[in-house]
Amino acid sequence: MTSRFLILTSCLISLLSVGQNAALATKINARPLPSERELKDFENSQSSAPTVSRFSRRMDYREQEKAQKEQAEAARLQAIERAAQAEKAAIASSKKVIQEALEANNRGVALGKQGRWTEAIQAHERAVQLEPQNKQYRINLSAARCTFGQARMAAKDYDAAAGLFRKALAAAPDNGLAAKNLNEVMKKQGHDPGSVEERVSIGDQLLAVHDMESALIEYQTALQMENSARTHTKMGDVALHNGQLSTAANWYRSALEKDANFGKAHRQLGMVQLQASDMTGAAASLRKAIILDSKDNVAGQTLVEIWRRQVAQNPLLAENHLGLAGALQLTGDFNAAEDEYNKLATLEPGNPGLSAGRASLARARQHAMAEKHRAAAETLFNQGLKREALAEIGQSVMMEPKNARYQFLLGECLEANGDLRGAHQAYMTCVLIDPEKNQEAAFRMKEMQRGNTLNAPVQQAAQPQYPQAQAAPMQQAMQPQAPFQKNVFEAGSGMQVAKTQMGFSTHDEAQQAPAQNMAPTQVSAQVPAQSPVAQTPDPNAELMARVTEFERNRNYEGAAAFLKEVCTQNLQNPDLHHRLAVDLLAAGNVTEAIAEFRIASALRPGNKEFAGDLARAMEIHKRSQENAFEEAVPSASGKEVAAK
């Protein structure tokens, strides 16, 4: 109890002493600590509140849209301002150019009045350069060039005068005085201004020296004279040199519309497609160009280069090697083409183009060898070595029996060596292969039938004389055998179908006199009163009467022999050739009949009857044509071996 009291008393005394000390303590005049609101000075913009979070606040979609609109509006206003400034600058520049062009033109006129034509032309060229759409400036330039050209022509400087007149036309194509003066100065230079060949040649020379304006004038003049594939191609060449690919391509395509087989147009179109990075189109066009003209080295080298690039880019693609092999084959590099085919066989042995490509390569090699023999034959023939030429062309014919060119040269060599029968057969084969392009072969056949030879005078004595009462030996040699007749005429062995049953007629049957005793298959022999044969002199009239008699007796071979003699006296009579063709066909000599039908149609191309008869004869002969070709070659080759 006593201890508790003492403790309480000591605590009370302590408290009283603390209170007394606090009352006696000295007061400190210090600023109190700041509060949180005092730290945030909202009136002072320089102060910033302490960062509460390290993450910034993202704008919502409304704030983003507002900001985007503000930016777009600011950009629009800036664009408007820039456009206005650019327009002002363009107007000022345009006014300056117009003023400068006007001053240049006026300066050119003043210089022209002083006779300073070189400076005057330069001033007018400057005016046209500044304002090319101003027609008056171009007229002034053309007039200045033309006047200066007249001065040079008077001074006999014809080359300079011609160049000035062409450039005058380039500035103003309707300058008639410049065109007239150009024609005159070309005549003084020794050129023919009315010749397309001259115009194209001069244009090529000007294009080679990059005088595009003058070359274009020459090509345009040639185009006005000759609207052909060649002139269209030349116009495209100028556009191509000027870098106008679209215009050049249009000219080349229009050239191919004129002539689809014009190789240069295909080649140039391929060049345009190559510059336009159309590799597929370029390769196709260049390939056509080489096929049409095997001597076009530019097209060949370009095609090979295209495929070499393709192979380099993807050497494991079989089609690239196939394309390169074809290009090399077309250019005559057969060994390199064979190497590419071998690579193709390694990469893809089952490629469908491999066997066809190799077969084509073999044919190309054979054709190249045949062409060598043909070239040798032409050289020997021109040198008078007829027998040696015959041996060479015989090799070509054995390699390519259906080549009309080889057959014609074979006929020439056989005729020169005295083998008229073999020559006639070669000419006949030539006509049958390509009737439209072998009119000379048909002419030689007719000359041989007349007894004329074209290569040597001694050949006329070797021409056999045909008896009038029977067919000619040549006719008998060319006449098919009995089985052949059966296949052609669809009848039994030895049977002959009359010409009226096959749709052929010797004359106008409407004017035929009635013949009650005539068999249905008998051929009428009456000739109309208006026939050219009826108006011939008495000897021919007697011959025609005998022909009529032979036809009545169905002796068509004798009728054909007589008609051949009549044709030698009147080669230009289509009715005689047509009647001879009908008799030859009735006698079974289809090949000679077709030749006579062709001659008749050529002499009278508008006659539908002649054309129809020729078509029917060709249809009859269609199944035997291949056999006729095979029979013609061994006989010729046998004679060549004997001659050799």
- According to the model, what pLDDT value does residue 220 have? 93
Name the more confident of 500 and 14: 14
- According to the model, what pLDDT value does residue 531 have? 36
Q: What does the pLDDT look like over 187-220, one tens digit per residue? A: 999 999 999 999 999 999 999 999 999 999 999 9
Report, as an integer, the average pLDDT of 150-162: 93
Read off the tokens for 349.
């042995």
Max Cα–Cα distance, the chain, nearest Å: 196
- According to the model, what pLDDT value does residue 481 have? 32
- According to the model, what pLDDT value does residue 424 have? 87
For 200-218, give one letter per residue: b (16+ CB within 10 A) or e: bebbeebbeeebeebbbbb
- Cβ(521)–Cβ(501) under 8 Å? yes
Q: Which of 165, 152, 181 is nearest to 217 (CA)?
A: 165
The half-sphere exposure of 51 on its side-chain side, counting CA atoms within 13 A, is 5
Q: What does the pLDDT look like over 508-562, one tens digit per residue? A: 333 333 333 333 333 333 333 333 333 434 455 666 677 777 777 778 788 888 7
Report, as an integer, the average pLDDT of 102-115: 91
Name the more confident of 55 and 491: 55
Looking at every residue in the chain, the average pLDDT score rounds to: 77
Which segment of 104-113, 255-264, 449-458 scores lowest on mean pLDDT? Answer: 449-458
In order of 18, 387, 395, the CA distances from 643 in angstroms are 161, 7, 13
Q: What does the pLDDT look like over 261-318, one tens digit per residue? A: 999 999 999 999 999 999 999 999 999 999 999 889 999 999 999 999 999 999 999 9
Q: What pTM, to 2 d.p., does this model score? A: 0.57
Structural domain boundaries of the chain?
369-460, 478-491+531-626
Indicate if the pLDDT at residue 243 is higher than 70. yes
Cα–Cα distance between 164 and 460 in angstroms, integer? 62
- According to the model, what pLDDT value does residue 51 have? 55
pLDDT classification of 624: cutoffs 50, 70, 90: low
Kindly give the residue spans of alpha helices, DSSP state H, lying in 116-157.
117-130, 135-154
Cα–Cα distance between 398 and 256 in angstroms, integer? 36
Class of domain 478-491+531-626: mainly alpha
- Residue at token pair 């034959």: 377
Cα–Cα distance between 219 and 190 in angstroms, integer? 19
- According to the model, what pLDDT value does residue 118 have? 92
Distance of CA 178 to the CA centre of its chain: 35
Report, as an integer, the average pLDDT of 175-191: 93
In 443-531, beta strands by DSSP E: none
- Cβ(399)–Cβ(364) under 8 Å? no
CATH no. of 369-460? 1.25.40.10
- According to the model, what pLDDT value does residue 138 have? 92
Indicate if the pLDDT at residue 450 is higher than 80. no
- According to the model, what pLDDT value does residue 568 have? 67
Most confident by average pLDDT, 3-12, 161-170, 516-525: 161-170
One-character DSSP codes across 223-264: HHH--SHHHHHHHHHHHHHTT-HHHHHHHHHHHHHH-TT-HH
Which segment of 86-95, 172-181, 301-310, 313-322 scores lowest on mean pLDDT? Answer: 86-95
Indicate if the pLDDT at residue 468 is higher than 60. no
